[in-house]
Structure 1
């Protein structure tokens, strides 16, 4: 969205804009308001808008408000920058516990009005409901990306076999049954913005899943004051015994997605997670 283009957002003329990446731009309107405008595939925008509304309704960690949703465009609240602290990290942990506790109709359930064919980053992600987490996680989250990575040559046959073995033992590895949680679904540290008022979650791939998946993903690529986040979470909503040993299981999904998107650079991490199990 160039500054010279005669466009309007929220019925106001765009005064300036600057690219943020990922099809998003920071836009200042003629009336002085600043918003974020994202363009892209219609299904991706529909899924993101539905996910933001669903997560926002949970009363947990804040997400940007959806201000406008039109064909090919999503407009959300702009989040000013800030710095994390142990206090804001602890509040993130408590907010995630509330968000997860808001629940979902089923494992794999999309947000209300969200498409079944959604995305995680730039990778397609199918949301199809299932009664039990282990079988759903293996069939709908591990194996599709495993096959794509193997077919693309990003995983060798022996590496793929090691990960398939984990999928085959999923019932033994999954831990005690839990109800479906309301997940952000792509909760790496880059999707946590630290505003002056605390953490704000962006770019969700929201669906019903296991709450340990969000927490494992948060720790995968590093998060400021992660210990404070996890301590506050487990105080508010204790996790089942053995959750730390299950972290590699829940990290397999995002690692396979990254292997599909970015190639063999992530294959070794995915294999290490499988072997840790």
Structure 2
């Protein structure tokens, strides 16, 4: 951390918390693929700090907006936003520090209840007041009254184009194009409500405090089908079975969810392919092929 960045962080935290606050220590936080994280201590308090190149300031701004919108529902805890700022060639986001652990079987039901309550917060249309990010990838959120079209044009299509530009063509593109052109077939008997969703709800973005209170962070928030959140939670190891059983009881999923789960997670797999490379190609191809074959039935 450069001296200029440290001074800017200290000034921002002092301004937010009071002039008598003194930052006594900065230490490196958990590893991140999208920047650096830090723990800041002072006057018996602790803050979680994210830093990135100045070009990432918009991403941190969108993260803060998403956290604020979720927090405003009163349904599930998020780290409070303390400060946003920049110094020299760096941008930073200062958050409330919340000690958390990975959800256990005993935590699952409370996490599911909180998520279902969040998903019961509805908007009039699909989208978000501004474009934001999924990881470091821009996520378009233009308002729409047509969910299948929204998901095809603003989620899958941009990632398929990006994949083609990176040389991932062939079956991924041919199957992907079929899915885009016939996406309405996955929603013949379902018009989902526009729920406020986290948008990037894999297991690593959900924690539990020692009090048992669930916490979500690193959102890519927008109004969409709540099943998209539920589906992503099943990726990359998933959450305890008690979470899934409780959520399904609290907010039952409609017929055809198995296919829509693959559809929604194809978006995230394509994003990982574009961000991290060919290690995700086979899984993306498998998912696109599975959806394409379903449409041939």
Q: Provide TM-score, normalisation by structure 2.
A: 0.84
Deviation at 1:63, TM superposition (A): 1.2
2:175 to 148, 162, 166: 162
The CA deviation string for residues 61-101 of structure 1, in whole angstroms up to 9 with x for no partner, is: 32111122345332111121335322311111111111111
Larger Rg: 2
Q: Say which structure is richer in helix.
A: 2
Q: CA, structure 1 residues 210+247, in 2 after alignment: closer, same or farther (shift >3 Å)?
A: same
Shift of the alpha carbon at 1:16?
A: 1.6
Q: Determine if contact 1:118/1:124 at 8 Å carries over to the other structure.
A: yes
Q: Which residue of 2 aligns with 1:113?
A: none
Task: Select which of 89, 98, 115 maps to 1:79.
Answer: 98
Q: CA RMSD in A?
A: 2.0
**Cα pair distance change 1:61/1:203, threshold 3 Å:** same
Distance 1:230 1:48, change over 3 A: same
Per-residue CA deviation, residues 231-267 of structure 1 (Å, 9 max, x unaligned), is 1112111221221232101111101111110122112
The residue number in structure 1 matching 2:125 is 106
Matched residue SS, 2:161: helix
> For the residues of structure 2 that align with 1:241 and 1:60, how far apart are their CA atoms?
27
Please list the CA deviations of residues 98-149 of structure 1 after superposition, one character each: whole Å capped at 9, or x if unmatched.
1111123421224xxxxx2321111111211111110110000001011001
Give, in whole Å, the separation in 2 of the partners of 1:43 and 1:117: 10
Which of 264, 273, 277 is the aligned partner of 1:263?
Answer: 277
Task: Quote how far apart the aligned CAs of 1:223 are.
Answer: 2.3
- What are the within-5 Å matches in structure 2 for residues 201-220 of structure 1? 201-220=216-235
Partner SS state of residue 49, structure 2: strand
Which residue is 1:118 aligned to?
132
Query: 2:243 aligned with 1:229, yes or no?
Result: yes
**CA distance 1:10–1:152, change in 2 (3 Å):** same
- 1:69 alignment counterpart: 84
Tell me which residue corresponds to 1:10.
Answer: 13
Q: Give unmatched runs, 5+ long, in structure 1.
A: 111-115
When normalised by structure 1's length, the TM-score is 0.90
d(CA) in 1 for partners of 2:102, 2:284: 31
- Looking at structure 1, the residues matched to 285 and 180 of structure 2 have their Cα atoms a distance apart, in angstroms, of 13
Pairs aligned (count): 270
Identify the range of structure 1 (34-43 vs 67-76) with the bigger mean alpha-carbon deviation: 67-76
Q: Which residue of 1 aligns with 2:67?
A: 52
> Residue 220 of structure 1 aligns to a residue in which SS?
coil
